[in-house]
Structure 1
Amino acid sequence: MTDIKKLIGQRIQVERKAKGLTQAKLAELAGGLKQPRVNNWEQGIRTPGPEEIKQLAKVLEVSPAFLMCLTDRKQPHPLDKNYVGALIPLLSPEQLDNPQHWIQSIKAGEYDGEITLIPITIELAKMIGDNAFGLKIEDESMEPELRPDDVLIVNPDATPKPGNIVVVKSDDNPEVIIRRYKQLSISKSTQQFELLATNKNWSAIQSHELLGCKILGTVINLSRQIA
């Protein structure tokens, strides 16, 4: 998957040069920022925040959504003039052992590994909490509804309801389980549920079959590459 930070950086650099601006001049015009910050953005090391994106877009005379790679239209469309969006981290299955730790580490700039950020709309951003993350599907258990390489937008703060697609991990299985949630009990203290696959070749799983079974979040959207 393409690193969205690098794409955002490329767009900032191309539009800056088209205006004949140096990094220092762009930083000055965009609210008195520091030149190294602009350089970090253009190199894909860091990503501008929503307010910084707005300032850059104003100076470069393009839409914030264009700089965020949420649209290929440089100029704002009447229907999306307030459309800025947000970025959430794409986590690996290994990072789901403690997703909140990795998310906070990425946001604080303390994570030194490669980071892929997923752009989402501002409308979708309003539906999720601070610990939302992206997750790429690696198996065929939910075909044809969900496919391998689909990227799911997962909200850990949403309480799953019957019929929702959820992300689950257990202590005795290193793999991430993505299934449709079926509630089996109404007790909050001893909650029992079943995880249903849409692929008929994959069996259903009941929560009591998994050691330390934990629902990590509810899927609220997906991103799919069109071949």
Structure 2
Amino acid sequence: MMKKESSGERIRARRKALQLTQQALAKSIGVSHVAVSQWEKEETVPRGENLLRLAQWLQCTAAWIIDGDGEVFATHAKAAPVAAVPLISLAQASAWLSEERLLLKQQAAHFLYSESQLGDGALAVTIDDQAMQPDYRPGDKVIFDPDVQPQPGDVVLALVDGVARVRIYRLQTQQQDEQIFTLRALNDDFPQLHSADSALEIIGTLMELRRYRSG
């Protein structure tokens, strides 16, 4: 079996194909040449904004750098903008609307990469219960955008008495500046929630669903 090229090898090969030195690439990205060297040796992994800038200057996609997925863009081609969306736990997502958001983004160890038009506050979580079955299963990864106003029937990530939950949004009425709405699960075993009875707050609207085959 042919050995799969590593991310460090892809970075090095692409840099040399574009006739860039480590120093030149590092200066373009805004990091030290030591950081580029560590990426190529796989002592560290480029993340977040550094990964996006690296992909831009290597004229390829972030997914290709990390996983080898897809084709490398030709030198003359312009890569589509890619957003690095932090993948965090539902417990962390409960604090996403607070001042802790920036810290959570900086501490994120995993990201999903998307070519969708997403706001800076976009986040990804992993579904951990059966409330949204059969359409959404435990283990599915979902991307939400706080900048997108939900429409009736949209899937949202919401705070339910301080706990982050994935549910379906349904607007009931608008009372002055306050929206009265319900959140329901697809699984009838889970109760419907009403904003008049529970402390409900929308974190973001569903933008993408990712499902990976196990095994």
**Would you say same fold, with TM above 0.5?**
yes
**Relative to structure 1, is the Cα distance of residues 14 and 102 closer, same or farther in structure 2, using a 3 angstrom cutoff?**
farther
Give every structure 1 segment of 4 or more consecutive aligned residues whose post-TM-superposition deviation is greater than 6 Å.
none
Aligned counterparts of 1:213 and 1:176: Cα–Cα separation in 2? 10
CA drift of 1:225 comes to: 0.8
Q: Is the 8 A contact 2:52 2:62 kept in 1?
A: no
Give the AA of the match of 1:51. R
Equivalent residue, structure 1, for 2:125:
135
Q: Is the 8 A contact 2:26 2:32 kept in 1?
A: no
1:99 aligns to what SS in structure 2?
Answer: coil
Aligned counterparts of 2:111 and 2:21: Cα–Cα separation in 1? 24
Equivalent residue, structure 2, for 1:224:
211
Q: Give the RMSD, CA atoms, in angstroms.
A: 2.9
Structure 1: segments with no counterpart, 5+ residues: 1-9
Aligned counterparts of 1:36 and 1:217: Cα–Cα separation in 2? 38
Give the AA of the match of 1:205. L
Aligned counterparts of 1:88 and 1:16: Cα–Cα separation in 2? 21
Whether 1:28 aligns to 2:23 is yes
Give the AA of the match of 1:186. Q
2:144 aligns to what SS in structure 1?
Answer: strand
CA drift of 1:50 comes to: 2.7
> Alpha-carbon deviations, 1:177-199, whole Å to 9, x = none?
21111111122423211112111
Q: Is the 8 A contact 1:179 1:197 kept in 2?
A: yes
1:190 to 178, 181, 185: 178
- So what's the TM-score if we normalise by structure 1? 0.73
1:116 to 94, 107, 110: 110
Aligned counterparts of 1:45 and 1:69: Cα–Cα separation in 2? 9
Q: Is the 8 A contact 1:70 1:119 kept in 2?
A: no
1:167 aligns to what SS in structure 2?
Answer: strand
**Relative to structure 1, is the Cα distance of residues 175 and 85 closer, same or farther in structure 2, using a 3 angstrom cutoff?**
same
Q: Is the 8 A contact 2:62 2:113 kept in 1?
A: no
Q: How is 1:1-150 mapped onto 2 (pairs within 5 angstroms)?
A: 10-11=6-7, 13-16=8-11, 26-30=21-25, 32=27, 34-41=32-39, 42=42, 43-44=44-45, 46-47=47-48, 48-55=50-57, 57=58, 63-65=60-62, 67-69=64-66, 72-76=69-73, 82-100=79-97, 101-107=99-105, 109=106, 111=107, 115-121=109-115, 124=116, 126=117, 128-150=118-140
Q: Is the 8 A contact 1:89 1:134 kept in 2?
A: yes
Equivalent residue, structure 2, for 1:3:
none
Aligned counterparts of 1:106 and 1:40: Cα–Cα separation in 2? 24
Whether 1:206 aligns to 2:194 is yes
1:88 aligns to what SS in structure 2?
Answer: strand
Give the length in aligned residue pairs: 196
CA drift of 1:46 comes to: 4.0
**Relative to structure 1, is the Cα distance of residues 138 and 27 closer, same or farther in structure 2, using a 3 angstrom cutoff?**
same
More helix by share: 1
Identity %: 23
1:195 aligns to what SS in structure 2?
Answer: strand
1:169 to 139, 159, 177: 159
**Relative to structure 1, is the Cα distance of residues 52 and 192 closer, same or farther in structure 2, using a 3 angstrom cutoff?**
same
1:199 aligns to what SS in structure 2?
Answer: coil
